[in-house]
Chains A and B, each alone.
Chain A
């Protein structure tokens, strides 16, 4: 099958209804999903294989459903799309979306997806964090759900001995507040439901201490300091792992959930793209990397040992581009594609922390299409807030940085932000800034720019003159400034903002959309060691998932979008292989390896990190000899949309001699071709 490489048709499959039975009964819990998967596997034995790739710390199965139709290549060697969900544990919508993806594929297996199911494979894991999901639905707390690994958080003789309790028996673990001379909290002046840190500079005087609901089980004077579990699985992956951070685990990949996933990926090198349903969103909020490490330093010195080898001055500073050019001129670089990332590694600058520039262009395109889909289907509120980039030690960032394939992670729903009052038309906004040219920006004049700086709460930190100089001097552009402001807003603690606290949005929304609302009024309680306290606050799990009635319409277009990505995966073919007689029994053999997919056969970073092996083209001949050319040819990558790589050989042989060419790859399929000397 030839795959369309240009067009992107928004799926007609939106029309296909999802099986409603499941959602009609509310969100599935872990056990229900298990039952659903077993039923699916039983009813579709030829297409679906259900397997367990490992067990959680709590001994629960981590399932992967493989969906693949009959095809020329065995499923575990076809270019594959991995859909993973709910690595957080509390993202019930995400798990539903993953199961819906299976249903969606099966419903159209004989129709629209016949082709893709014959040439590609889907691995779908609806619950990547079973312990977390059980914890989230059991007696949830406001914390990120953890697995059941016993962690001795308070460093005493026992682990997990002092967790929270639902003291007032209202079914929720919320928060206790009590008056204390050292209390630092007050009720928020804009919203009495919410507590805030008193700001002494504003003349606010702290009154309350706040602690989560529970007693001091181990009698050490601290409350709930060593709860049951565990590790937050989505912080336990080996890229940018944060040591000595609560919840991250003692070292990267310390947890069975993490290891199960890593081992599955390394034993399924055919996974070519990963799409995660969860809490992050790097399609709505595409960024190249962590702010601080987004770009390589402008200039570097070359360490002595390399400087001597390159014959350059170790005292001088060079741009990375200049170093790349110098390294390309050395014997080491022969036959090797020297990249900026490789030079950064040679200079000991540590691991890559931002998307490669070439790869980023592909990400931008998918991001654009995702936003179009969101807009067209109106599932997402246009006012959804920017979120931070993929988290430290997260699965989705590991996929790109260590495994070397595209990785998208989407939350598909969030509590809608209140509509902000439109700023006056004549004023400058962050949105306007994004598309503004340098000249337009400078034309605004100092006064307007100063007003904008003030509106952004950046007064005192930067001045209008400073900004004007920077834009004039080319150190920054209006678009970069917009990005910086947005990132800063995303990173900022909501409490720092003036006006209503962020919790108000959640509570206001819950008031209208959740039975019983999201707020538990502060009610007095006699605590065994603290005495008089009040228990109340925000209900846990509120605002994490949409009301189940809305779930279906959110899931449908998102699932259709995700599944559609499989059609874009790279796929190689040996094309136009031919033999030309050169006389005297000599022949030239030519062949092209073509990539029919939209994606390249390897991302740039997949080559840098050596996780995506090259395409290997083998030349075998019977009844003749190879005079020039390689028996084994390695092609690091071939760009998408019909780009190709040419290979040539010079052979000598008798008429009828056979040449067998084979192209094999980890992630873009395989092909073979036989030629006969004329």
Chain B
């Protein structure tokens, strides 16, 4: 029955969308709503079906509860094989409750596909790069958030049961939706010895009493009962770990990093992504969308991680600062220093072990609720916003209830679609700005070109070939960190030809003096650490022979270019 309802829901979206579609839009998805797991899958399938030549849809594995982790790859096979192009990874919703991260991924997919061939920059990036887009890293958590009563913050975790309270039982005392309104709100009890009193400005809120004042209320925490009779309430809810602490760089055990899991990649979802990424070594950019707080975050996640190299920091800064301009109210920050310590986070592994320039983006839009414009949003302002612009749907008025332990209580407070997700009318702009930030990040991936190629005849069948390889984007073909720690392979420059022998190969030290450093051995394969961002490499070969030669520059993450020259 549930399945039928979902199908009906999906169908009705499609139907409504088609009915209101602008004529030049192939897949008129709505972006003022959130998509549950099945709807998200259906939307991705629609995109894939509408743009079969530019997309690949695959499941990269199953979640703990057996849901497929759907990944949409966007690339143009006519402009070259995927592995020969730099790849951008975009994911979201690693925390089950941080749902709108998935819609950013969906919006980005939709925007790239719909505008391919219409907007030059979109066409260019789709032609020269690969996007691997995984809208929901934690589909079990997403399903749990949509289908079950929750707070805006529950639950970050996946759904594998964990014995949080170490009593030998798993997930046996979760919060309970006592008032049956679909959200886990708060419990309070009238008590003259309480430490809270009614807020004189808004009777729905409470404020702490001052010393000497009599109170009105005691707060009793989130809605729930003592399901297992151990004298504690809500102490062992569903799951109980953090998929964004389970990655293999700077990982620390649970007692150092709460929620880390038993060992790196012990959970299915990060493991599936790891296996995919290891098989796609051309990934050099990554964005992981979360909520909330309006933060564009980069590593290190902990002060104990190895430091970033200065030239990598400059790359991060150039992207992060652009993000601050594209995303008003967002701040570009360093995780351990400006936020808090995170051991074993996903983007830390992507940078530390794969050499990809990776950001976490904490989606937010709540500055528009700042009615007194002091730069902060408090509960009074949130309530005004909810009253004026959402007509009160985000707040559950306090209602009397009976509790088996506490007796007469009141239940009320913020519902689950407040605080971290946004009102319908705010959504599209938020999605657009963030998706285009990811697009900008992709545009920063290495863009290689031959700036100049020159063949000098030295006589006696000997030629000197001088080549300038240019990287026209901010990101180098390998991060300085990857070069330093030997992550991935070096770039390979070659001169090949049917009747050509390569005698020496190297880099030019001084173009004016004409000095060069030749590689000690194996001139057929010239190994280069990296082509720097917004920089050039001057390469030189001594070759003998005649006829056509192909100059190629082949980078694992930065793409592959080649050019044919004549030895004459």
A positions within 8 Å CB-CB of B: 152, 155-157, 219-222, 238-239, 243-244, 250-254, 259, 262, 266, 345, 348, 350-351, 401-402, 608-611, 613-614, 616, 630-632, 634, 664
Is there an interface contact between B256 and A345, defined as CB atoms closer than 8 Å?
yes
Chain B residues 255-292 with CB under 8 Å of chain A are: 255-256, 262-266
Q: How far is the CA of A253 from the CA of B304 in the complex (A)?
A: 19
Is there an interface contact between A155 and B486, defined as CB atoms closer than 8 Å?
yes
B295-319 CB mask vs A (1 if < 8 Å, else 0) is 0000000011010000000000000
Among B264, B306, B492, contact of A238 (Cβ-Cβ < 8 Å)? B264
Least Cβ–Cβ distance between A451 and chain B, in angstroms: 43
Count of A-B residue pairs with CB < 8 Å: 99
Is there an interface contact between B163 and A253, defined as CB atoms closer than 8 Å?
no
Nearest-CB residue, chain A, relative to B554: A157
In the complex, which residues of chain A have a beta carbon less than 8 angstroms from the beta carbon of B321? none
Q: How far is the CA of A468 from the CA of B303 in the complex (A)?
A: 38
Is there an interface contact between A632 and B522, defined as CB atoms closer than 8 Å?
no
In the complex, which residues of chain A have a beta carbon less than 8 angstroms from the beta carbon of B231? 630-632
In the complex, which residues of chain A have a beta carbon less than 8 angstroms from the beta carbon of B256? 345, 350-351
Is there an interface contact between B489 and A156, defined as CB atoms closer than 8 Å?
yes
Q: Can you list 13 A-B pairs, Cβ within 8 angstroms, ordered by A? A: A156-B492, A221-B521, A243-B249, A251-B353, A252-B263, A253-B248, A253-B264, A253-B266, A351-B253, A401-B253, A610-B255, A611-B253, A632-B231
Is there an interface contact between B167 and A616, defined as CB atoms closer than 8 Å?
yes
Is there an interface contact between B248 and A157, defined as CB atoms closer than 8 Å?
no
Is there an interface contact between A243 and B168, defined as CB atoms closer than 8 Å?
no
B428 sits at the interface (CB 8 A): no
Is there an interface contact between A634 and B166, defined as CB atoms closer than 8 Å?
yes
Is there an interface contact between A262 and B262, defined as CB atoms closer than 8 Å?
yes
Q: How far is the CA of A155 from the CA of B252 in the complex (A)?
A: 28
Known: A152-B489, A243-B485, A632-B231. 15 other contacts (CB 8 A): A157-B489, A221-B520, A222-B521, A238-B251, A244-B486, A253-B248, A348-B303, A350-B252, A351-B252, A401-B253, A402-B263, A613-B166, A631-B230, A631-B231, A664-B168
In the complex, which residues of chain A have a beta carbon less than 8 angstroms from the beta carbon of B255? 345, 351, 608-611
Q: How far is the CA of A262 from the CA of B267 in the complex (A)?
A: 13
Is there an interface contact between B249 and A616, defined as CB atoms closer than 8 Å?
no
Q: How far is the CA of A610 from the CA of B492 in the complex (A)?
A: 49
B101 sits at the interface (CB 8 A): no
B341 sits at the interface (CB 8 A): yes
Is there an interface contact between A156 and B249, defined as CB atoms closer than 8 Å?
no
A221-B521, A609-B255, A630-B231 are contacts. A252–B489 as well, Cβ < 8 Å?
Answer: no
Is there an interface contact between B167 and A250, defined as CB atoms closer than 8 Å?
no
* Residue from the set B249, B255, B485, B521 with the largest chain A CB neighbour count within 10 Å: B255
In the complex, which residues of chain B have a beta carbon less than 8 angstroms from the beta carbon of A402? 253, 263
In the complex, which residues of chain B have a beta carbon less than 8 angstroms from the beta carbon of A155? 486, 488-490
Among A252, A348, A401, A630, contact of B248 (Cβ-Cβ < 8 Å)? A252
Is there an interface contact between B166 and A251, defined as CB atoms closer than 8 Å?
no
Least Cβ–Cβ distance between A663 and chain B, in angstroms: 11
B254 sits at the interface (CB 8 A): yes
Chain B residues 114-134 with CB under 8 Å of chain A are: none
Is there an interface contact between B230 and A630, defined as CB atoms closer than 8 Å?
yes
Least Cβ–Cβ distance between B441 and chain A, in angstroms: 24
Q: How far is the CA of A664 from the CA of B262 in the complex (A)?
A: 22
Is there an interface contact between B341 and A348, defined as CB atoms closer than 8 Å?
yes
In the A-B complex, the 4 residue pairs with the closest CB atoms:
A221-B521, A251-B248, A632-B230, A609-B255
Nearest-CB residue, chain B, relative to A250: B353
Q: How far is the CA of A254 from the CA of B303 in the complex (A)?
A: 23
In the complex, which residues of chain B have a beta carbon less than 8 angstroms from the beta carbon of A614? 166
Least Cβ–Cβ distance between B340 and chain A, in angstroms: 10
Q: How far is the CA of A18 from the CA of B163 in the complex (A)?
A: 44
In the complex, which residues of chain B have a beta carbon less than 8 angstroms from the beta carbon of A221? 520-522
Is there an interface contact between B263 and A262, defined as CB atoms closer than 8 Å?
yes
Chain B residues 220-245 with CB under 8 Å of chain A are: 228-231
B463 sits at the interface (CB 8 A): no
Q: How far is the CA of A631 from the CA of B173 in the complex (A)?
A: 15
B56 sits at the interface (CB 8 A): no
Chain B residues 465-506 with CB under 8 Å of chain A are: 485-486, 488-490, 492
B525 sits at the interface (CB 8 A): yes
Q: How far is the CA of A616 from the CA of B256 in the complex (A)?
A: 24
B504-532 CB mask vs A (1 if < 8 Å, else 0) is 00000000000000001110010100000
Is there an interface contact between A238 and B229, defined as CB atoms closer than 8 Å?
no
Q: How far is the CA of A616 from the CA of B231 in the complex (A)?
A: 14
In the complex, which residues of chain A have a beta carbon less than 8 angstroms from the beta carbon of B96? none
B352 sits at the interface (CB 8 A): yes
Q: How far is the CA of A630 from the CA of B165 in the complex (A)?
A: 15
A221-B521, A244-B485, A251-B264 are contacts. A632–B228 as well, Cβ < 8 Å?
Answer: yes
Is there an interface contact between B521 and A220, defined as CB atoms closer than 8 Å?
yes
Is there an interface contact between A631 and B229, defined as CB atoms closer than 8 Å?
yes
Is there an interface contact between A252 and B264, defined as CB atoms closer than 8 Å?
yes
Is there an interface contact between A350 and B304, defined as CB atoms closer than 8 Å?
yes
Least Cβ–Cβ distance between B4 and chain A, in angstroms: 38
Nearest-CB residue, chain A, relative to B256: A351
In the complex, which residues of chain B have a beta carbon less than 8 angstroms from the beta carbon of A157? 489, 492
Least Cβ–Cβ distance between A356 and chain B, in angstroms: 13
In the complex, which residues of chain A have a beta carbon less than 8 angstroms from the beta carbon of B163? 613
Q: How far is the CA of A345 from the CA of B252 in the complex (A)?
A: 12
Least Cβ–Cβ distance between A261 and chain B, in angstroms: 10
